[in-house]
Every structure is written in C-alpha cells, then in structure tokens.
Structure 1
C-alpha cells in the first residue's frame, strides 16, 4: 500500500517501533524492527515492489543464472556511494557477501550456505559460484544478505560495525541511545538524494500499542509500526490518522526447546524435560490450543490462523496447503499425556515479549493448556533480551515469529535445518534436512510444492515450532504524512515520505 501524494522538503519524521531493534549489523541482525531501520539506511542488491515482485536496487538488473544453475552474475550501480564516502563497487559486494556468510554468529550463514565463491569479474561485475543450484538466491539477496556494507567500515570496526553502520541508503546513521531512539539523517551522497524529502528520521521503541497510539494522536510521533488490532479498531474512526495494511508473508507461533543446549549453530543436545524429550507431550500441548479462538480473543478476529511456514502469497502455496488447521482436542491431549506416562500437570515456562498483546496471548495459551493438564508460567521479557535468552537455549518455550519471505526456503531453512543459523529450538532431523536441501535445488514449481507439502507435514509432526497465526501488517500514520509505502514484507519505507505539500 502506498501514499501517492508528493511531500515537501524538510522536517523530521518520528517512527514508533513495537520493540527496540537488535544489532544494526545486517550480518548479525534478526528482528523485523531492525529491518525497518535498515530499509532507510542499508539498500540491498534487490528489493521487492508493491506487488511482491523482485526488482533491482543496488544491482542494475535481475541476475543471470547459468543453465546448470550454479553460476549467478550481475552488475552493480556505478553511481552509488557509502555514507562514509567510499564508492560502491564489485569488490565491496564480494567483501559483504563473504562477511554475511562467514562471520562468527552470522544470522545469514544458512541463507548463503550454498555459496561456494564470490568474485569481482570487473569493476562493477560480480560472479557467484554455487555448490549446487540454489533457487531462492535472488530473494535472499533482496533481504539482509543482499545489503552491501562499506568495506572501509568493516575493516575499521569489525564486529563493532553495529555502532558505526555504513551502507548505501537515503539516510545515514547518526546516533543510537539504547531503549530510547535511533537517529538517521539524510545522506547527501545518496545516488537518488533528490527523491528524499526528510532531513531526519527518528525511530523510537514504544512496546505498548496504546502508548504508540497516544503518541500518534498527540503528534509526538508521526508513524506507528506494527499496530495491533485493538488500536486499529480505534484508528478507523479517527479523521487525523490513516491506516496502511498488507498481508504478512510470515507466521507467529510457539517454539519449544528440544535440543538447544549450547546455543545457535551448535549440534543439538538433550533437553531432559517432558516437553523437550517426548513428542507426544508437545503434540498434546498443541492439541490443547484453539487457533480460531486465539485469533478471536486476542486479535479481534483480524489475523488468520496458521499451521505451516509457507506464505499464502508464495507461488507454490496452493500446492502446499493440503487441509485446514486442526481443531482443538482436549480429550486427545489428555490421552497423549497418559500414554507418555508423565506426571500432570506438566509444568513449563513460556517466554513472551513484554507487550500487552503478547502477554494477552500468553494468558490465553496458559488457560487453554491448563484444561489439558499443563501448568504454564509466563515469563515476559523485552524483545531483544528474549532473543538473547532463546538463542542461548535458556528457555522451555517462547513466542516465536518471523516476518516472512516470498520464497518458502526463507521461512524454513535458517530455523529448521540442523545447526541452522536461527535454529533456536535445537531441532535436528535428517529427513527435514534432506527435504530442505531438495527444496533449495528444485526449479520446477510443481515439484517444489510437493517437497514443501511433505516438509510441512514432517515439521508439524515434530511439534517443535507450533504455527498459530499470521499477522497483517498494520501501520498508522498522520494524515499529513505523504509518500509512505508499506508492502507485504512488513517494512515501513520512508525514502519518499515527508509532510504533505
């Protein structure tokens, strides 16, 4: 959804985020709110447009792929400059891609795992060599793995790049005050600076949606990101505010620790709890939940129940969705717990984000699970801190979610591959790994649909990542804000935004 009105030059725009972003380093970052900040300061080789189609951004055209699928070539812009004054060229792309793939703790490692080599074949020409055909690569390069970083800043700051980020973008980093604000200013070196109207963009984490809405109404902020259904209902009757919405390509659910004993990227170990060691207990927990009722009670019926990772917007979605989500089955859950021979109530801790919406979700899950023989205690945490805890394996279950990608591999591989870059669950299953690998190399859409249908069934049978619902992307802005764009990837794009003429 886009506002087509023209904006005047000048001014500061304040965007209220649902949480504080994690590291401002595309190689290491994991959060959607972080991606929203990156959208203003770190352009990618490719981007998605309003229709979800891939378009060049720092690359000059869509990539050329060899007949055997193992060589990918493209050129990059000759007029782009990083915020620190360094020129963008093919060598900078090579340096960034290798860093994304290889740096310790990289969240991009699984996405770029099939990349065997990257080289500059000319001043602005890049060749990627793959270990095997890798169908998702172009869409991977349209997210953080495709963000090109200043090689000068990489060399100077190393892992401290997060405090000195330098990319190509309409705005450049000025300062960050943890928990309070991230400030970006217009970058006059940007190749399309004439299209940028604002002098400055400030991102403020405001976890409580009611407070975000109050700040919108008072004019202290001009854009509210990730607004919840409760606030959206109120906005619809406010003549000073405008609602932007788009379907999400991601999912929200509950992740269960089944093997994360040493942290991300490590070989799965043994979690000696009823929930962690016995799939029947996990299945019983899932049977205790009513997805439709959760949507109605917590989200005013404005989201959609979900029971798999593949986005309905994906081209292969019709061939993957074999049936509706299962209904709640309390008696079936009790029977499974009896078969498992566990002492009831089964006690475990459920870690959630400390927002009112997530706490409400936790309370509903707590109540439903109690009926089947579970005693769930809630552990609300600030979102970035929650990620640190869950990545390290210090949890029983947590509210797990992902903003989503058009290619199904982007919703699956990093999370469910054994030792995947974001596999916080400690899941390790050879059959799942095999299906993920096949899905990555298969080019035929019909065959891919069959693979991902089987993969979805296999993942769901593990009951390790329990898919619950798909959000809609709700963004609220003041009526005087023009040029704002919100697409299906959930990002708030402010390059062309500003105050209406």
Structure 2
C-alpha cells in the first residue's frame, strides 16, 4: 500500500515559486539538535500574509500556514499529514459512521477569555457551514446537526457515513473561532483573529507584517519555545540570503535559484515534500473550453518534461492529476493520461471545429512568467494562439471567475476527498465553471464512506480521482516543494507535508 508520506523529491529549482505564492523546501528533517537553544526570544518568518485572518472566509489555500499561528483546530496534521489530537484529545465514530463524537481537552479558552467548550465548537462549525460568505460551507455540508453532549463532548451528525471528518477538521475547516468575537464584530476577524492557537496577534499591517506573542493558554504551550513571532512578506529573491544573514529574517521562503547562494552563505536549506501541484484552471462554460476536445488538445500539446527542464532547471515531477506520485490518492492509471502528442492535439482541435487553430488568452500572476511563456510557445506549435495577460492585482479569480484560463498552483488539502471537492465539486473554489458530472460526487461519496483502515479505501479514493480527472478540464502540470532558508541557529524545524508548524522550534541568535 502506498504511504501517506511522499518520498523526497530532488531539489526543485524554479524562480516561479515566489510568483505562484506557494514555495517551501527540504533537505533532511532537522529536528536533531532541537532543544540545544534556550527557550524564549523571537522568530521572524518570511512567508505570505493571509488573504484574511478569518478561516471561514479565507480564499487562499496557503493561508492555513499563517492561520494556524492564531487558531487551533479540533485535530492537527502530523508531519506525514495524518490527523492527530489537538483541541480534541480523542474522537469516536458510531457503528454506522454517520456520527462522530469529539472529546475536548478540559479548561480550554480563546485569547479573548471566552471558554472554548462544546458550545463554542458547535457555534464555530455551524458558522463555517452556514455563513453566506463562507468558503468552507461545501466541505461542511455533510454535517446536518451538531449535538452538545457535555461541556467537553460534541457530536457531529452526518447525512452519510464520512470517515474523512478528522482529516477535514485538521485545517481551516476545523479551526475554532471565538463566538464572542463573531457576535461582536464578525467583519473585524479579517484583521483581528480571535482563536486559541499557539500565538495571539499584536499588530497586523497588510502587505507588510504581523507580530504575535506566545499564547500561554494554548493547549500545547509547553511545546512553543519562542516568546514572540513576527511574520513578514517574503524577501525579494535577490536579497533573501542577505536578509537572513543580517537577522531581518530567521526563516524565509526562497526560490530555487537561491538555493546554492543560501548554502554558500552557510544557511540551512529545507526542501519540503508537499502536496503542491502546478495547474491550469479552466472554465468549461466559456468558449472554446466548453468543448472537452479543446482542453484535451491543450493537455496533449504540453510537454511537461520540458516545463520542468527549462522553466524549473531540470527538477520536478510531471503530473496529470492533483496528487504527487506515491501519495495514497495518486492513481497510476492516470500517469501520462494526455501524453505529449502534438499530432493528437491538432486532430482534437480539428474535431472540435478548429482545423486552422484557435486563439485563447492565458492569465498569469506576474509579468515575464517563464512558465506561462513556455506554455505559450508549446501551444502555439499546435495552432493554439495564446495571448498572455497579467491578472489585476488583488483580483480573486476563485470568486470573480473573470479569467477562464489561468496559470495556477494547487496547494492540496488535509483530506484527499476535500481536495477533490475544492477542485472539482460544483461549489469548489477552483472549479471555475461551477459544474461537475454526478459520477464525481458519487465516487467521492463511496470513498468518504469507507473507513481509512479498510483495505478498499485506497482504491476507492483512486477511483474518485479518476472520475474527476477524466471528465473535468483542469490541466495538471507537475508537482513541486516548499523551500526555506534559515539561520543555523534555528533548530527543531520539522518538515510537514501539510501545514507548517513551529512547535519545538528555537532560535539561538
């Protein structure tokens, strides 16, 4: 059986990582030596500021890394992406799998002093399910009711068996927000988070920085070994190494082009294997993408290995699906689903009514995007005339859907089925057409009703992946890691396949 831990990739080299906004990294796990530094002090992290500090309205997958500083969820992910206890110290399903009871740790509180009890959990999850501006409502739609059994016991009543719930609740969907803060000023949560995470926010300056201090009431406060935490926007790649050397940053995301410079400067480089996949988002309600033969032609026209070799300096893993090779959801039968075949691409275009080619506009996030430019060249060779345009700064295409063909990156989700719903569900943020054939949901439902330890679980998930990838227009390109450079005095920095965490991290300078 395939493991839930992804084998180490070679060093991915690509300046595009900062453009896409989801970089990270890893050599070997660095927990060895943790604890040699004294507790206390501060840590400055160069990473992307969130789209909002409210987990219910967050529209960017990578927000989870920052939100987990201020919020705690019912469960959390371990380094391999498995659900383990957090606010809930244990959970139990009923015999039919359509109810799951979470038992909370005693005496939990939010940073505003509000008790974090079963009622607070119910309030927070129902807000996530029902709020008009919620971006996680579809993921909680399986929850028909929530029953408070005691101050520390809360039961989720489901409309079908669903054994993904503990995984689902280890990320933004399971982050618990203070009911007092919601009642007093729900809009204020966008800039003033009120949770029960490892840190509490002191100051937030959009597009600049956020400062936080250790939350002594955090359920696992003994594992938080720094007193102060500062989050700053990632440094310019040309000065990233100097920024860490000077102490402006202790840990910072860097592009692959800076790996050797960081190592030459004596910095540690962490290249962390994660779920992230480069993808073309496609709205299949807009011509010419409303014809599946066109989107299949696009996929056949793309030489994924050349994308890796040229745009990513020979590193990476070509992919035709939203999961990395050897992850349990990766379906071997989909490998090279639309192999590079220019003749087949031209044939499909002719069948779709475009024997002389077709013109499309491809949207990217920045000028001079080498990945977009190479895609433009490849598609041109089969008669697809591509005009590149840069998205309006601040535009959220997942919401506005104004751009039907977009170079993007998918950062994965805590549950593989949750990932499928985000990408392919009729209400999925990355499903720009907001439509999906019923067989996708049917396959997802079969997988979600299968216990994770059932021998048939892996196959059920792979079947759901196949149902989605073979019927939907999203065009997957290749997988890539997160890359960090850090001062050698930063110790205990673990490599998480999912949300990056800072328990056990110390800074010696």
Common fold, TM-score beyond 0.5? Answer: yes
- The TM-score with structure 2 as length reference comes to 0.87
Deviations 1:24-83 (A, max 9, x none): 11111132442111222211111121233321011112x100111011012111132211
Deviations 1:163-203 (A, max 9, x none): 22111122111222121112222223334434433232222
**Residue in 2 aligned with 1:13?**
43
Size of the alignment, in residue pairs?
477
Matches within 5 A, 1:46-445: 46-61=75-90, 63-206=91-234, 208-225=236-253, 227-239=254-266, 241-259=267-285, 271=286, 273-274=287-288, 276-312=289-325, 314-315=327-328, 317=330, 320-322=331-333, 324-325=335-336, 326-342=338-354, 344-354=356-366, 359-381=369-391, 385-386=394-395, 388-405=396-413, 407-420=415-428, 422-443=430-451, 445=454
Question: Is the deviation greater in 21-30 or in 430-439?
Answer: 430-439
What residue number does 1:263 align with?
A: none
1:39 is aligned to 2:68:
yes
Question: Residues 207 and 416 of structure 1: is their aligned pair in 2 closer, same or farther, counting only changes over 3 Å?
Answer: farther
Please give the per-residue CA displacement for 1:401-431, whole angstroms capped at 9, x wherever unaligned: 2222453202201221123355334332222
TM-score, scaled to structure 1: 0.88
Give the Cα separation in 2 of the matches to 1:15 and 1:251: 23
- In structure 1, the residue matched to 2:479 is 470
Whether the aligned pair in 1 keeps the contact of 2:39 and 2:226 (CA below 8 Å) is yes
* Partner-residue secondary structure (3-state), 2:381: helix
List alignment gaps of at least 5 residues for structure 2.
Answer: 1-28
Question: How far is 1:499 from its partner?
Answer: 1.4
Q: 2:280, 2:406 within 8 Å by CA — same for their partners in 1?
A: yes
Is the 2:321–2:476 contact (alpha carbons within 8 Å) kept by the matching residues of 1?
yes
Q: Tell me the SS of whatever aligns to 1:372.
A: coil
8 Å contact from structure 2 (residues 284, 432) kept in 1? no
Structure of greater relative contact order (alpha carbons < 8 Å, 6+ residues apart): 2
Q: Deviations over 1:230-250 (max 9, x none)?
A: 2224333331x1122332124
Q: 2:465 aligns with which of 446, 456, 476?
A: 456
SS in 2 for 1:128: strand
Q: Distance in 2 between matches of 1:138 and 1:481?
A: 31
Structure-1 separation of matches of 2:403 and 2:355: 20
Give the SS at the match of 1:111.
helix
Shift of 1:293: 1.3
Query: Is the deviation greater in 290-299 or in 322-331?
Result: 322-331
- 2: CA distance, partners of 1:349 / 1:40: 38
- Contact 1:27 1:106 (C-alpha < 8 Å) held by counterparts: yes
| 1:351-387 Cα deviation digits (max 9, x unpaired) | 223387xx1111111111111111222233477x24x
Matched residue, 1:265: none
- Report the 3-state secondary structure (helix = DSSP H, G, I; strand = E; otherwise coil) of the residue aligned with 1:331: helix
Q: 1:314 to 1:405 in 2, by over 3 A?
A: farther
Asked if 2 retains the 8 angstrom alpha-carbon contact of 1:314 and 1:407, the reply is: no
CA contact (8 A) 1:311 1:406 kept: no
> Structure 1 residues 211 and 303 mapped into 2: Cα distance closer, same or farther (>3 Å)?
farther
Distance 1:112 1:349, change over 3 A: same
TM superposition shift of 1:453: 3.6
**Equivalent residues of 1:390, 1:398 under 8 A apart:** no
Q: Unpaired runs of 5+ in structure 1?
A: 260-270
Q: Which residue of 2 aligns with 1:262?
A: none
1:88, CA displacement in angstroms?
A: 1.3
* Contact 1:309–1:408 (CA under 8 A) maintained in structure 2: no
Decide whether aligned partners of structure 1 residues 34 and 211 sit closer, same or farther in structure 2, where only a CA change above 3 A counts.
Answer: farther
Change (3 A) 1:93 1:472: same
C-alpha contact (below 8 Å) 2:268/2:486 kept by paired residues: yes
Alpha carbons of 1:361 and 1:48: their partners in 2 closer, same or farther (altered >3 Å)? Answer: same
Q: Is the 8 A contact 2:235 2:252 kept in 1?
A: no
Separation in 2, partners of 1:193, 1:312: 36
